[in-house]
Chains A and B, each alone.
Chain A
Amino acid sequence: MRNMRKVVAILALAVLCVTAASAGGNEIKIAVAGPMTGSFAEYGNGFKNAVQLMVDEWNAKGGVLGKKIKVVVYDDKNNGEEGANVAEKIVSDDDIIAVVGHFASGVCLVAGPKYQEAGVIEISPSASHPDYSNIGNFIFRNNTIISVEAGAGIDIAMKTLKAKKIGILSVKTDWGTSTATITKNLIAEKGGKVYAHEEVVDGTVDFAPSITKMQAAGVDCVIVVAMYNVLAPFATQYKAVNPNIKLVGFSNAYSEQLIALAKENAEGIMFPAAFFDKSTEPHIQKFVNDYRAKYNATPSALTAQAYDSAGIILEAIKAAGKADRKAVRDQLFKINYQGVTGPTSFDAKGNAVKVFTTVVIKNGKFVQYK
């Protein structure tokens, strides 16, 4: 009986030690928050995979500050309410230094204030709504603000494609509506004119009314402010009516899924892109090959930005010398990171500064336009 008690005591002690070890901060946690299920699961899982890949690379070299790095994943279902819940969970875990996420600007705008209040660093690899980085000084984005990207898209339409009558198709979400307004204003600034602007709700399947209106206005190039799930059927349906229509997308429609879904109708669609997976740069090739080997998929631009986001966080932790959120935050403002999405630094608001290349779909593949 007495032996039994000893065994129990030792066991209890052992359990205590194990719990103490995990709570005592022998590891540094980085959270990934995004849609892991639902229509946008592709993006959320891309974030998860990319961050895991970067963390595995660091862990193989011995982690950061001598500690192992652990990735914790949260599913926000691309929904504001769920995003707020996830943010609550994340800020209540003291081991989490930073969050890579969320995906949609709308969700970021809901979750952001909670991170700011608790002093947790958030780097969104995708948020492009102008208001996002105004939330506070813990809120960063490793994505160019939408006006820069919209400007690049308009240049493609006006200069590269020499479009005479530009139309805009936008999706009725926070991001879509504000981006469409910015795009319209920029076109006016650059001396162009928008001949038709059609708004559709996300999830629209039938674009015939919008296409007919654009055709009636004589549009020869449409800037599509939407993700691939809108751009693909829109391209298919538009090309059935007018095979010569030129289409310009935004980087969040720049996904292999677009070609898989629109097939031959995706030909000739152009994008401004911060990341191009067929680039000949060795460090980009290494990332693409590693990602393919591990997940059997080609990383998208947003996935690449998530990968760089994780790298930026880890570099900042290393530079800060301690796993302190505030010290790491201060380092982020000083960083100049050579990532797979080009050299990245943050401006005073926490917006990333990047350079764009033009990508076009040719023979079922994305190629760099020269």
Chain B
Amino acid sequence: MLFQQIINGLTLGIIYALVAVGYSLVFGILRLTNFSHGSVYAFGAHISMVLIGYSFGMLPAIIVSVLITGLLGILINKVGLEPLRKKKSKGISSLITTIGISYIIQNLLMIIFGSETKFFPKLFDYGNVTLGSAIIGVRQFIIFGIALVLLGLLTYVVNGTKIGLAMRAIEQNSKASNLMGIKVNSVISFTFFLGSASAGIAGTLISGYYQMVYPTMGVMVGLKAFAAAVLGGIGVLHGSIVGGLVIGLSETLAATYLGGSYADAVAFIILIIVLLFRPSGLFGKQDITKV
């Protein structure tokens, strides 16, 4: 049973990791914790549900939905955050703005789609594989694979491309980057696009796994993914994968041995403990100033 529970925990963990990557990406560039991420994740899931319903093909539907979710990220940045940056307001104002945006998106979803839990079609079903004493669904492997590919892709974009270079330059000094001819606002918008698109992918995959969507689905997942990102060292992309797995695993083991009511608390207890001993997270750089 323990082996099966570990598999369960890793699956849950990779789900948190998928969401955590987006947090980490935006934080890595802007030093801003984007609390609207959970709602963007729910938004992506709802858009996918609608588009898949039009039955013009599963894959095109998901791609369009991910692009739309990415555009929502740009919109959030342009409408909510760019004006604040122009006025040189403190980081905390942006942070609180993202919380506000999160509620706006969530309530819009409730108004448009209703507050009840809705069915999400199965994305892929290739049955189960029996591995020793454990039964593992093939879709668990697929989610794992997609998460790793996504992580690889994002790491490549940040570390291996020209726009990635611009992102890192802005992270170090946005004024100097501007003077060097980098279009700072466009690069930040692109960062938001990437972060939100990854939330869209996560929302779609996870809804397909659990086969349901609802407007508040991003709240708990968002918080735990945030814990995962901080645990792994926010801003470090591979850190969020490790952080996600640790949180997912400990949550499942807590549910197994302490009872389901402790599952939610454990993620945050671990977060607090790690922050006490390693304030910058498992893989974080020491000089990070958190907002």
Contact = CB atoms under 8 A, between A and B. Distances in A.
B260 A199 contact: yes
B48 interface: no
Contact of A241 (B114, B118, B128): B128
A194 interface: no
A67 B183 CA distance: 72
B119 interface: yes
A72 to B, nearest CB: 23
A209 B253 CA distance: 8
A38 interface: yes
B257 to A, nearest CB: 9
B260 A261 contact: no
A183 B216 CA distance: 31
Given A208-B8, A208-B252, A233 B220 contact: no
Given A199-B261, A208-B8, A209-B5, A41 B128 contact: no
B260 A204 contact: yes
Contact of A200 (B210, B212, B216, B260): B260
Report whether over half of chain A's contact residues are helix, strand or loop; otherwise say mixed.
helix
A203 B217 CA distance: 9
A37 B115 contact: yes
Contact of A209 (B114, B115, B116, B263): B263
Contact of B255 (A42, A209, A241): A209
Given A203-B220, A233-B211, A210 B117 contact: no
Given A39-B115, A236-B211, A209 B256 contact: yes
A198 B252 CA distance: 13
A209 B8 contact: yes
B47 to A, nearest CB: 19
A212 B8 contact: yes
Contacts of B135: 241
B117 A229 contact: yes
A257 interface: yes
Interface string B22-51: 000000000000000000000000000000
B1 A212 contact: yes
Contacts of B100: none
Interface in A13-50: 37-39, 41-42
A41 B1 contact: no
Contact of B210 (A203, A205, A212, A215): A205
A226 B282 CA distance: 39
B1 A216 contact: yes
B263 A233 contact: no
Contact of B264 (A201, A210, A237, A240): A201
A365 interface: no
B12 interface: yes
A263 interface: yes
Contacts of B263: 201, 204, 209
A39 B11 contact: no
A206 B12 contact: yes
A240 B128 contact: yes
B152 interface: no
Contacts of A237: 210
Contact of A172 (B114, B216, B261): B261
A204 to B, nearest CB: 7
Contacts of A180: none
A104 interface: no
Nearest to A210: B260
Contact of A232 (B11, B117, B217): B117
Q: Which of A213, A232, A233 gathers most chain B CB within 10 Å?
A: A213
A11 interface: no
Contacts of B118: 260-261
A272 B117 CA distance: 24
A216 B8 CA distance: 14
Given A210-B260, A241-B128, A257 B1 contact: no
A357 B241 CA distance: 50
A330 B4 CA distance: 59
Contacts of A212: 1, 4-5, 8, 256
Interface string A266-303: 00000000000000000000000000000000000000
Given A206-B12, A241-B135, A257-B116, A213 B220 contact: no
B137 interface: yes
Nearest to A35: B115
B53 to A, nearest CB: 13
A208 B128 contact: no
Given A172-B260, A201-B264, A233-B212, A208 B119 contact: no
Q: Which of A201, A212, A229, A260 gathers most chain B CB within 10 Å?
A: A212
A3 B227 CA distance: 74
A263 B261 contact: no
Given A201-B264, A233-B210, A241-B135, A208 B115 contact: no
A263 B121 CA distance: 10
B202 to A, nearest CB: 14
Interface string A239-269: 0110000000000000001001111000000
Nearest to A230: B117
- List the 8 closest pairs (A to B, CB-CB), nearest first: A208-B8, A209-B255, A200-B260, A216-B1, A212-B4, A209-B256, A209-B252, A261-B119
16 contacts: A38-B115, A199-B260, A204-B263, A206-B210, A208-B5, A209-B260, A210-B260, A212-B5, A212-B8, A215-B1, A233-B210, A233-B211, A240-B137, A260-B119, A263-B119, A263-B211
